[in-house]
Amino acid sequence: MRLPSGVVTMLAVVLNSGAGLAAPPPSQSANATPPQLPPGVSATLWRLSVPKGMEPTPERVALGEKLFREKRLSVDNTVACMTCHEPELGFTDGKPLSEGVKQQKVARNSPTVLNALFNATQFWDGRAATLEDQAKLPILNPREMGMPDPDTVMKKVRGIPEYVTDFQKVFGREPNFDDLAVAIAAFERMQFSGDARFDKFITGDSKALTASEKNGWALFNGKARCNSCHAGNAVSPLFSDQKFHNIGVAAHKQDFVTLARKGVQVVRTGDEKQIDELALNSEFSELGRFLVTKQENDVGSFKTPILRNVGITGPYMHDGSLTTLWDVMDHYNKGGVANPYLDGGMQRLGLTEPEIDDLVAFLFTLTDTKFDKLNKEQLAKQRARKNTRPERDNAIALGKKGNLGDLAPNPDLNVKNPADLGFYGDVTPVTNTKQR
C-alpha cells in the first residue's frame, strides 16, 4: 500500500483528529451479539474485535458487499476491492504483487480479508487502526483505485441513484465517505473462518490429521520455532502475535543497508512531506513499519500475518517473493537474510527435508473446509515446485557454513509431544518421522 504525499497528509489529519468526519452512523439494529461462529473463532474475541456502533447488521453487510464488488469506486471503473481480494481465492488475488488501475503494480502482496477483523492493525505496515480506516485508503491510492479525494468519490456515488436509495435505507441519510467505509467494513467483519481440519483435531478428533501433519504441529511448536511469532492456542487462535518483525525478506534483493541508512537520515530531518514521499517510493516502502513509527528498530519490519488459510493465500510475504510454503520454510531454515535490523529471534533451524514436508503438511490443515477443493489444488501445485526452491540453502540451515547460533531444541516425540504443552490440551502421540 503506497499513498501520494497529499493523500497521506490528508488522511493523517482525518484519521488522527477526526476533523471532517460525518456524524457517527446510526446504530440501527446494531448489537454486539456474535453471528454463528465456527469452532476456531472465539465469540469473546469477536466481541472484543468489533467496535461499539460498528456491528455488522444485515443491512450494512449487504450494502458493504455491493460496494466491495463495485468497480465504479475506481477512477476508470475497472477495479473494485474484490479485484485484489477475490472471495473464491480466499480473498486474495493469487499474485505476488497486486495490480490496480491502468494495470499498475502496487508495492505489496494482497493480504486476505478472511479474519482481518481480528487484526490489531491493518496493512502490512499497520498504518490503519480499523477496518473502516483501511477501507478508505485503497480507493484513494493512485495505483490501486486511483480516486483523487473523498469528495470526488462521493460525488460519483451520489450520482448513482441506487446508492442514494441504499444509503438512505441503511444509514438514513445521503451517501458519505465514512458510511461507505462502515458498510465495507461490516461486510469484511463477516468474513471469518475457523472450521479447519486442525480445529477438528484440536477439539478431540485425533484422526482429523495424518501422522505427518501431527508431526508438523509438533515441529511448529518445537524445533521449527514457528510458535515464537505464530503461536496458536485458545487465546490466540489466529496464529499471529500481531507484532512487526524484520525477518530479512526486504534484504534479499537489494542493498538494504544503504536503503535503510538513507531512510533513517530523511526521518531524522523531520521533514514529514519527504517521509510521505518515501512511503510512495517502491524502493523505500521496503522499510515497512519504520515509515509509520519513525523508530529505527522498526526498519524492515512487517506485520506477522495470521496463518489461518495460509495454504490458499500465497504467494507469501509482504512482497509476494516466496511462491510456496516450502520456500517460506527454506527462508526460515537458514535464519532469514542477514541485515543490521534482523529480528533477534531469527536463527538457523536445521530442519531436514522430511521435517519441512511435515511442517508444510500441517500448515495446509489450517484451511477452512469450505476451501477444501482449492486447498488440495494449491498443495498439489506447490508440491510440484518442490524441487525448484531459490531460498534453499542446506549448508547454512544445517550449520555447515555461517554462524547463526545454536539450534532450537529438537523435540523428542517419544517422550513428550510439545503440542501437549499448549492451551489446546492433549494431543494424541505421534510417531517419529524416521519411524513412519
Tens-place pLDDT, residues 300-346 = 999 999 999 999 999 999 999 999 999 999 999 999 998 989 998 89
Q: Active-site residue 213, yes or no?
A: no
Residue 428 lies in a domain: no
Same domain, yes or no: 83 and 184: yes
Residue 274 lies in a domain: no
Residue 354: the pLDDT is: 95
Same domain, yes or no: 108 and 216: no
Under 8 Å between Cβ of 214 and 436 = no
Q: How many domains does the chain have?
A: 2
Same domain, yes or no: 182 and 203: no
Q: Pick the more confident residue, 403 or 7.
A: 403
Under 8 Å between Cβ of 97 and 108 = yes
> What burial letters (b/e) apply to 1-40, b meaning 16+ CB within 10 Å?
bbbbbebbebbeebbeeeeeeeeebeeeebeeebeeeeeb
Query: pTM for the complete prediction?
Result: 0.85
Q: Is the pLDDT of residue 236 over 70?
A: yes
Q: What mean pLDDT comes out for the span 176-197?
A: 96
Residue 266 lies in a domain: no
Residue 54: the pLDDT is: 92
Alpha helices (H) in 222-322, listed in sequence order: 227-230, 256-269, 272-280, 290-293
Same domain, yes or no: 80 and 132: yes
Same domain, yes or no: 94 and 204: no
Q: Which residue in 342, 356, 340, 360 sits closest to 393, CA to CA?
A: 356
Same domain, yes or no: 201 and 342: yes
Q: Is the pLDDT of residue 274 over 80?
A: no
pLDDT band at 40 (very low <50, low <70, confident <90, very high): confident
Q: Which of the listed residues 158, 190, 222 is the one where a domain comes to its end?
A: 190
Residue 272 lies in a domain: no
Number of helices (H), then strands (E), belonging to the chain: the values are 18, 2
CATH, residue 340: 1.10.760.10
Q: What mean pLDDT comes out for the span 256-273?
A: 79
Residue 7 lies in a domain: no
Residue 13: the pLDDT is: 30
Residue 254: the pLDDT is: 80
pLDDT band at 279 (very low <50, low <70, confident <90, very high): low
Q: Is the pLDDT of residue 170 over 70?
A: yes
Same domain, yes or no: 81 and 140: yes
Q: What mean pLDDT comes out for the span 139-163?
A: 95
Beta strand 302-303 pairing with 244-245 = antiparallel
Averaged pLDDT score across all residues of the chain: 85
Q: Which of the listed residues 174, 190, 206 is the one where a domain comes to its end?
A: 190
Under 8 Å between Cβ of 397 and 409 = no
Same domain, yes or no: 201 and 185: no
Q: What mean pLDDT comes out for the span 217-225?
A: 91
Q: What mean pLDDT comes out for the span 390-403?
A: 83
Q: What mean pLDDT comes out for the span 46-50?
A: 89
Residue 24: the pLDDT is: 52
Q: What mean pLDDT comes out for the span 344-357?
A: 92
Same domain, yes or no: 69 and 170: yes
Same domain, yes or no: 166 and 217: no
Residue 202: the pLDDT is: 86
Q: Which of the listed residues 190, 225, 260 is the one where a domain comes to its end?
A: 190
Residue 262: the pLDDT is: 84
Alpha helices (H) in 143-255, listed in sequence order: 150-158, 161-171, 177-189, 197-202, 211-221, 227-230
Same domain, yes or no: 69 and 202: no
> What burial letters (b/e) apply to 234-259, b meaning 16+ CB within 10 Å?
eebbbbbbeebbbbbbbbbeeebeeb
Residue 433: the pLDDT is: 43
Q: Is the pLDDT of residue 404 over 60?
A: no
Residue 16: the pLDDT is: 33
Same domain, yes or no: 176 and 305: no
Q: Which domain holds residue 165?
A: 54-190
Residue 426: the pLDDT is: 42
The residue annotated as part of the active site, out of 132, 144, 188, 355, is 144
Q: Is the pLDDT of residue 20 over 70?
A: no
Residue 417: the pLDDT is: 52
7's CB contacts (< 8 A; 6+ apart) are 140, 141, 142, 149
pLDDT band at 400 (very low <50, low <70, confident <90, very high): confident
Residue-wise pLDDT for 70-94, tens only, equals 999 999 999 999 999 999 999 999 9
pLDDT band at 61 (very low <50, low <70, confident <90, very high): very high
Q: Is the pLDDT of residue 31 over 80?
A: no
pLDDT band at 44 (very low <50, low <70, confident <90, very high): confident
